[in-house]
Chains A and B, each alone.
Chain A
Amino acid sequence: KNEVEQSPQNLTAQEGEFITINCSYSVGISALHWLQQHPGGGIVSLFMLSSGKKKHGRLIATINIQEKHSSLHITASHPRDSAVYICAGASGAGSYQLTFGKGTKLSVIP
């Protein structure tokens, strides 16, 4: 059974801080997705990773396949980054059959 563990569950940061959210996953997961969910439910897909590192604006995602671990970093955090961040593992190549972590609720205080 595929599993995805996320930490921390809750995170409060001051505006401008560097933020890291961690995700560990089990054997059988071939790609890792990072999602952002805003209050009200809307979900935005941030990254899909199967190796290496990706960057988009202030967001950076990395994955270590040997350690089965991925991190999402936010540089120069801003209150608009406040959301729930969810990592999800894809069980097969080219599949959206995802196993989701429980999410990290991030609050960035001005």
Chain B
Amino acid sequence: KAGVTQTPRYLIKTRGQQVTLSCSPISGHRSVSWYQQTPGQGLQFLFEYFSETQRNKGNFPGRFSGRQFSNSRSEMNVSTLELGDSALYLCASSLATGAETQYFGPGTRLLVL
């Protein structure tokens, strides 16, 4: 079974631009969560989706948005990029919300110049 895939793996953008990151969960998984990892703040929760519904959102500005499609694939969008948005963005999938095991993707490394 294929693991969680994230595209693109690496991305360079400039301040003010917007970016869309994609996450394809493991087949059959309906829960997708997104996390941001930076050297300064560590790992932080962004969003949690289940069956196309956003269940929870972390403490991030409205520039960060996301969605989940009927096939469970998920996208997150960051508008008006700032230097501080440079980070590793990780998504993780699980069979259902609160399932024992989340499976993490390799991440998308975003650099904002």
Contact = CB atoms under 8 A, between A and B. Distances in A.
Interface of A: 31, 33, 41-45, 48, 86, 88, 90, 92-103
Contacts of B107: 41
B56 interface: yes
A96 B98 contact: yes
B105 to A, nearest CB: 9
B35 to A, nearest CB: 8
B90 interface: yes
Interface stretch (B11-19, B40-48, B65-73): B40-48
Contacts of B44: 100
Interface residues of B, number: 27
Given A96-B33, A96-B92, A97-B56, A48 B45 contact: no
B98 A94 contact: yes
A45 B55 contact: no
Contacts of B79: none
A97 B104 contact: no
A93 B98 CA distance: 7
A50 to B, nearest CB: 10
Given A96-B94, A100-B42, 12 more contacts: A33-B102, A41-B109, A43-B92, A43-B104, A48-B100, A48-B101, A94-B96, A95-B55, A95-B98, A96-B56, A96-B97, A100-B44
